[in-house]
Amino acid sequence: MTFTPGTFWFEAWAAREALLVGLGVTLASAMLSIVMATVCGIAVGVALSYGWWWLSGLARLYVDVMRGIPLLVLILFTYYGLALFGINVPAFWAGVVALGAFATAHVAENFRGAVQSVPAGQMEAAKAIGLTFRQRLAYVILPQAFRRILPPWVNTALEIVKGTTLLSIIGVIELLLAAQQQMARNYMIVDFYLLTLALYLVINFTLAQLGGVLERRFSYLRY
Chain residues that interact with another protein, rule: CB under 8 A: 65, 68-74, 76-77, 80-81, 83-86, 158, 161-166, 168-169, 176, 180, 183, 189-190, 193-194, 196-197, 200-201, 204-205, 208
- Distance of closest approach, residue 168 Cβ to another protein, in angstroms: 7
Closest distance to another protein from the beta carbon of 124 (Å) = 30
User: Is the Cβ of residue 110 or residue 196 nearer to another protein in the bound state?
Assistant: 196
User: Closest by alpha carbon to 37, among 87, 103, 85?
Assistant: 103
**Minimum distance from residue 151 beta carbon to another protein (Å):** 14
Closest by Cα among 95, 78, 79, 99 to 36: 99
Residue closer to another protein, measured from CB, 8 or 200? 200
- Closer to another protein at the Cβ: 108 or 126? 108
Burial category of 130 from C-beta neighbours within 10 Å (exposed 0-12, middle 13-18, buried 19 and up): exposed
**Could you tell me the smallest distance in angstroms from the CB atom of residue 73 to another protein?**
6
Our CB check for another protein shows the closer of 123 and 214 to be 214
Comparison of 138 and 189: residue with beta carbon closer to another protein: 189
SS3 content of the chain, % helix, strand, coil (to 5): 85, 0, 15
CB of 5 to another protein, least distance (A): 20
Cβ contacts of residue 11 below 8 Å, gap of 6+?
5, 182, 186, 188, 191, 192
- Distance between CA 123 and CA 129 in Å, rounded? 10
CB of 138 to another protein, least distance (A): 34
176, 168 contact by CB (below 8 A): yes
The number of residues in the chain equals 223
**Half-sphere exposure (Cβ direction) of 108: Cα atoms closer than 13 Å:** 30
Q: Of 45 and 211, which has the nearer Cβ to another protein?
A: 211
Q: Looking only at Cα atoms, what is the longest distance across the chain? A: 76
Helical axes 53-68 vs 16-50, angle rounded to 10°: 150
Closer CB to another protein, 42 or 177, in the complex = 177
Q: Least separation, in Å, of the C-beta of 30 and another protein?
A: 11
